[in-house]
Each structure stands twice: as structure tokens, then as C-alpha cells.
Amino acid sequence: MISSNRVLAIGEIAVGMNVGITYDPNHLEDEINKYNIVMETYKESNPGSRVSTIDIPYSPLLGFNFRYQFNYLLFRLGCHLAKPVYTEGSITPLGGVKNKIRVTTYQNSYPLSIGFILPLKERTYFFMGVGLAYNQAYVKINQSVPSQSSSLFSGAGLSTNRRDRYTQDFAGYHLIFGAEVPINKRFTVSTEWIHQEGRSYPLNNGGIDESGNEIILPRRTINVEGDFILFGVNYYIKI
């Protein structure tokens, strides 16, 4: 009896591994859509030109988490890595050279959550929490021959640089909701949904212009608003 009370007071520690999926990490959809609209409009009014539009990326997720549970309280530190395969499009003006536009991005987030557990049975929980997240975000847009479409893109407020690159670490916040059930005495499986928000301050460009000169403009922000779907396996450490 004394022993079980001590365990309850100490709480439980678990480590877990997650895999999952997210849509449009770093929120590039609006910018990609702008490129696509400009290219499609050009193709419509210039028969013979060729266009391949850019896909909005989905990304697999790999994650780890460390949790400490104390009665009805949950403290969770996560690490989620999102790196989609690059997405690419192109425009070839009539009689011109193909300009390939390649979007490369990744996002690492480290959410620290505090939440409540709704225990239903032994190691059978619903939980929800909120917290801050430390985000590492990276966005790079390369154009192979930007001179082929510079008048089009500049007219729409889009970049005409050979490379635009932005990277920054910054804080955000998130909401987490999940469920967990036991496999055996030590292992559990979980399903989690994380919605996160966060935006960097305007960042200098680390790219190069059409002529190959280093540039710092235009500045832009990175928006990490998004949703993570995670499936996990967790191991409870005896303490």
C-alpha cells in the first residue's frame, strides 16, 4: 500500500516514437498558387508555351516525445521533423528556354505541452494540452533560368531571383489532442493531432539574383501554421 502511494506521487515517465503526415509545411500554398496562376494565365494567352504547375507539398513526419504524467497532469516534450520531397514546376515561353521553379522546405518543431489526462482504464487515456513550440523553418525557391519569366513574375509581385532562401528559429504555440491505449504493461499506442501556429519576424533573403549576386531582399516571414497527424508507440519507464 505504501509502495503504490509512492508510485502515484512520483508519476510516470514515457518515451515515444511517432510517425505521421502534415500538409503544406511552412504554409507555402498561397505563394505556390500565385506562381501557378501567373503561369496558367500566360499559357492561356500564349498558345504553344508550356507550363507545369507546382504541387502543394504533403510531408511525412518523424517524431519523438518524452512525457511525464502526474495524476491528471501531462507534461510532454516533442520533436517533430517534416521534410517533404521537393516540389517543382516550370514555364517554357514560346521559343524560349524552360525555367524550372523548385520549392524546397523543411520544418522541425519542438513543442512543450502541458495538459490534462482523462484516464479511462490503466494506461487508457484521452489527453489534451497547449504549449509553446520552438520551430526551425527553412524555405528555398530556386529558378533555373529566371530571365525567361521575370516580366511575368515581377508583375505579380513574385520573385525573379535565381535563388531565394530563408531560414530562422522562432517560437510559436500549439494545441495537442490525443488518445492512448495499452499494448501490454509497458507499451502503448497513441493517436495525436497537433495544430500549431507561429510566424517569424521578416527575414533577410540569403539568395542570389539573376546575375548571381548575393542579395538580402525581398524580406519575408515564415508561417508555420499547420496540422500534424501522428501515430505513436510509447514505452513507460519504471521509476
Examine residue 90 and tell whether it contacts another protein (CB under 8 A): no
Interface pick for another protein out of 11, 12, 50, 55 (rule CB under 8 A) = 55
Q: Beta 99-121 vs 226-237: how paired, if at all?
A: unpaired
Helix (H/G/I), strand (E/B), else coil: 211: coil
Contact at 8 Å (CB) between 229 and 183? Answer: no
Site string for another protein, 103-132 (x = CB under 8 A): -----------------x---x-x------
Segment lying near another protein (by CB under 8 A), choices 9-17, 157-165, 173-181, 215-223: 173-181
Interface pick for another protein out of 33, 71, 151, 213 (rule CB under 8 A) = 33
Burial annotation 183-196 (CB, 10 A radius, 16+ → b, else e)? eeeeebebebebeb
CA distance readout (Å), 232 to 180, 195, 224? 9, 17, 22
Query: Under rule CB under 8 A, how many of the chain's residues touch another protein?
Result: 33
Distance between CA atoms of 158 and 25, rounded to whole angstroms?
Answer: 20
Q: Beta 73-82 vs 87-92: how paired, if at all?
A: unpaired
Q: How far is the CB of 210 from another protein (least distance, A)?
A: 25
Torsion of Cα atoms, 205 then 210 then 214 then 215, to 10°: -40
Contact at 8 Å (CB) between 61 and 228? Answer: yes
Interface pick for another protein out of 37, 114, 217, 237 (rule CB under 8 A) = 37
Q: How far is the CB of 99 from another protein (least distance, A)?
A: 18
Segment lying near another protein (by CB under 8 A), choices 48-56, 102-110, 134-142, 213-221: 48-56
Interface pick for another protein out of 191, 204, 221, 223 (rule CB under 8 A) = 191
Segment lying near another protein (by CB under 8 A), choices 29-37, 91-99, 157-165, 204-212: 29-37
DSSP 71: T
Distance between CA atoms of 61 and 96, rounded to whole angstroms?
Answer: 39
Interface pick for another protein out of 7, 8, 15, 29 (rule CB under 8 A) = 29
Examine residue 231 and tell whether it contacts another protein (CB under 8 A): yes
Residues lying near another protein in the complex (CB under 8 A) are found at 20-23, 29, 33, 36-37, 40-41, 44, 53-56, 58, 120, 124, 126, 177-182, 189-191, 193, 227, 229-231
